[in-house]
Structure 1
Amino acid sequence: MSTLLSLLDAFDDLSQARDLRERTYVGLGDTVVDVGCGSGRAVGELVARGVRATGVDADPEMVEAAVSRWPGGEFHVGDATALPLGDGLVTGYRADKVLHVLPEPELAVAEARRVLKPNGRAVLVGQDWDTTVIDSDDPVLTRALIHARADGMPSPRVARRYRNLLLDHGFRDVTIEVHTIVFTGAVMLPMLATIGEGDWLAEQTARARDDRLFVAIPMFLASGVRP
């Protein structure tokens, strides 16, 4: 868990990630649920702006970390497909880097519609795990490793479906954007270690040491309004 938290913190601290996070807050209104809240940063930032924000995450350890880090927020252990909220209670729904771990992400989008008030906004954010870009001396092996890593997830390519998922569930004014996060330092080595090992990882480690590492992750941001 500490490795995952460290990786999330490193990602969230990047100026590009902060800019993207700010973009996700637009139009969420004054009552927001953050699904897959992780360590709770988005909830904390929203609360600081006067928003009543609730974080939900399936991992009890993440929720425990969020409670300790952001005492002003409200956090619950819960399932993205069965949120601990009544119908039509929130003006904003935010799901950041979570739908790819769900076998049926469409159920989460149905939940978004259920808990949103009329004219409430849903925001979906995440990467398409097939589109990670890594500079390597062996691009063929790197491509195979990226696809293998993606295939080990329940819904690795759901981000390319965000727009259609929102449309399929009756959302209107649906938009989709792509924001690319670039990493050039050793902070990404724990993530790269989940993709490959041996000589491949040793090359990436050497690249990080020599300031030659390059990883680019396109992040897809979709939003829509509940009728």
Structure 2
Amino acid sequence: MAHRDVTEKGPSFRSDQVDSGQIDMLVAILDVQARLPGIQRMRRWAHEALAVQAGERALDIGSGTGSEAMAFAERVGADGEAVGIDPNSDMVALAERRAAEAGSTARYVGGSIYALPFPDGHFDAIRCERVYQHLDDPAAATAEIARVLRPGGRVLLIDSDWYTSITHPGDPAVVRAVSETLLTNTPNPGSGRRLRGQLVAEGLEIDDMGSEAVIWDPESALPLYGEMTRRAVAAGAITAAQHDQFRADLDAGIAAGDYHLSVTMFAVLAHRR
């Protein structure tokens, strides 16, 4: 497998930092990830746990390609409201196109989790997946979620905990260096284990928790590993030669079927008293 130049700028996995020239790449990555069995199981559990009903108002924060807001639209029906919010205007436009093509009533708006453009107590149910790992101020974000949630309303947060990631094969020292670079460059890498505490701090009551060790296939993982190793070389954490050997080892393991790439995702369901 050919490797790109390690000095090449890789994609950002934060939609608010992706320009129009990279949006297609990010969308392709998100679509591949959405097909992972682990992601699908976690999303099914989330919708079952939230149990959105006809006529309710539901919000998906960090709505990305729009699929989960469309799932909300099916549940709330004609008398309800299903909204997705994303900080990237190109992503919002793409979600709108996909919803229109699917005949969905879901609508999408641009905006920040730190300043949700909705009135107090507006939503019956809120879902937020893999956003907290990118947040510099998760407490402020949780306060906004609590603000727009009605009394008795439910919220479900899903996020990865990058301290639980596993990579095989590869020189353990190089794997550690690459992982440390990821942790350093992720604002909130242990977000998964902190979700419960964030919700409790805002006075929300915990109802349930779930987890899934998401197994990544090569198609979904290699863009991430390409970005991680590029940053590790740029930071001086590994040499270019170590980069090449790590990628060669990983490629050989993938070719032989002897590989394991995973990270644990956690979900927390809570309600506002």
TM-score computed with the length of structure 2 as normaliser: 0.78
Per-residue deviation, 1:131: 1.6
Tell me if the contact between 2:213 and 2:263 (Cα under 8 Å) persists in the aligned partners.
Answer: yes
Q: Does 1:202 align with 2:231?
A: no
Identify which of 34, 38, 41 aligns with 1:19: 41
Change (3 A) 1:125 1:102: same
Tell me if the contact between 2:32 and 2:219 (Cα under 8 Å) persists in the aligned partners.
Answer: no
Q: Does 1:122 align with 2:130?
A: no
Work out the CA distance in 2 between the residues paired with 1:205 and 1:61: 33
> What pairs up with 1:136-151 in 2 under 5 angstroms?
136-151=169-184
- State the partner residue of 1:54: 83
The alignment partner of 2:157 has SS state of strand
| One-letter amino acid matched to 1:54 | V
- State the partner residue of 1:63: 92
- State the partner residue of 2:203: 170
Specify every segment of 5 or more residues in structure 1 that has no aligned partner in the other structure, as ranges. none
The alignment partner of 2:117 has SS state of coil
1:41-61: per-residue Cα shift (whole Å, max 9, x none)?
101122123352100011112
Per-residue deviation, 1:80: 0.5
- State the partner residue of 1:31: 57
Per-residue deviation, 1:99: 1.0
Work out the CA distance in 2 between the residues paired with 1:198 and 1:145: 13
| One-letter amino acid matched to 1:33 | L
Per-residue deviation, 1:174: 4.1
For the pair shown, which has the larger CA radius of gyration, 1 or 2? Answer: 2
Tell me if the contact between 1:28 and 1:93 (Cα under 8 Å) persists in the aligned partners.
Answer: no
TM-score computed with the length of structure 1 as normaliser: 0.93
Identify which of 259, 262, 267 aligns with 1:216: 262
Change (3 A) 1:173 1:130: closer
Change (3 A) 1:102 1:215: same
The alignment partner of 1:223 has SS state of strand
- State the partner residue of 1:90: 123
1:146-171: per-residue Cα shift (whole Å, max 9, x none)?
12112112222222111111111000
Specify every segment of 5 or more residues in structure 2 that has no aligned partner in the other structure, as ranges. 1-22, 230-242
1:56-85: per-residue Cα shift (whole Å, max 9, x none)?
011112111111111221101100011011
Structure 1 window deviating more from structure 2 (193-202 vs 72-81): it is: 193-202
| One-letter amino acid matched to 1:35 | I
Work out the CA distance in 1 between the residues paired with 2:209 and 2:116: 25
Work out the CA distance in 1 between the residues paired with 2:253 and 2:215: 15
Change (3 A) 1:144 1:174: farther
Aligned residues: 227
Q: Does 1:9 align with 2:9?
A: no
Per-residue deviation, 1:13: 1.2
Work out the CA distance in 2 between the residues paired with 1:113 and 1:132: 30
Identity of aligned residues (%): 26
Tell me if the contact between 1:7 and 1:188 (Cα under 8 Å) persists in the aligned partners.
Answer: no
